[in-house]
Structure 1
Amino acid sequence: MDRSELLRPITDEDVPVVLELNERHVELLSPMDADRLDQLRGWASRADVIVCDGVVAGFVLVFSPGSDYDSENYRWFSQVFGEDFDYLDRIVVDDAFRRRGLASAVYDAVEDAAGARGRLALEVNLDPPNVASLAFHRQRGYREVHQLGTTGHVVSLMERPTR
Structure 2
Amino acid sequence: MSTILRAAREVDHARILELNLESEEMLSPLDAARLRQLDAQAAYHRVVCEDDDVVAFLLAFREGAAYDSPNYLWFAQRYPRFLYIDRVCVARTHQGHGLGAQLYRDLFGFAREHGFDTVACEFYTQPPNEASRRFHAGFGFREVGTQWVAEGRKQVSLQVWQASA
TM-score past 0.5 threshold: yes
1:95 match: 92
For residues 9-53 of structure 1, the C-alpha deviation after alignment (integer angstroms, 9 at most, x for no partner) is 222221111111101111101101000000100111112222234
1:119 match: 118
2:105 match: 108
1:22 match: 20
CA distance in 2, matches of 1:108, 1:54: 22
Structure 2's unaligned 5+ residue stretches are none
CA distance in 1, matches of 2:136, 2:42: 22
Residue 86 of structure 1: which of 83, 87, 90 is its match? 83
Confirm or deny: 8 A CA contact 2:56 2:99 kept in the other structure: no
2:131 match: 132
Tell me the SS of whatever aligns to 2:120. strand
Runs of 4+ in 1 over 6 A off after TM superposition: none
Q: CA RMSD in A?
A: 1.8
CA distance in 1, matches of 2:147, 2:107: 24
Q: In the alignment, does 2:156 pair up with 1:155?
A: yes
1:65 match: 63
Q: What amino acid maps onto 1:23 in structure 2?
A: L
CA distance in 2, matches of 1:100, 1:53: 15
For residues 132-160 of structure 1, the C-alpha deviation after alignment (integer angstroms, 9 at most, x for no partner) is 10011112111100001155300000001
CA distance in 2, matches of 1:111, 1:121: 11
Kindly state the Cα deviation for residue 2 of structure 1 after the two structures are TM-superposed. 9.1
Q: What amino acid maps onto 1:119 in structure 2?
A: T
CA distance in 1, matches of 2:30, 2:100: 21
Confirm or deny: 8 A CA contact 1:112 1:162 kept in the other structure: no
Tell me the SS of whatever aligns to 1:22. helix
CA distance in 2, matches of 1:80, 1:52: 38
Kindly state the Cα deviation for residue 78 of structure 1 after the two structures are TM-superposed. 1.1
- Structure 1 range deviating more: 143-152 or 56-65: 143-152
Structure 1's unaligned 5+ residue stretches are none
Q: In the alignment, does 2:47 pair up with 1:49?
A: yes
Tell me the SS of whatever aligns to 2:77. helix
CA distance in 1, matches of 2:61, 2:2: 24
Question: TM-score under structure 2 normalisation?
Answer: 0.90
Question: TM-score under structure 1 normalisation?
Answer: 0.91
Q: What amino acid maps onto 1:70 in structure 2?
A: D
For residues 74-122 of structure 1, the C-alpha deviation after alignment (integer angstroms, 9 at most, x for no partner) is 1111111112x11111000001112221111111011121221101100
- Structure 1 range deviating more: 100-109 or 46-55: 46-55
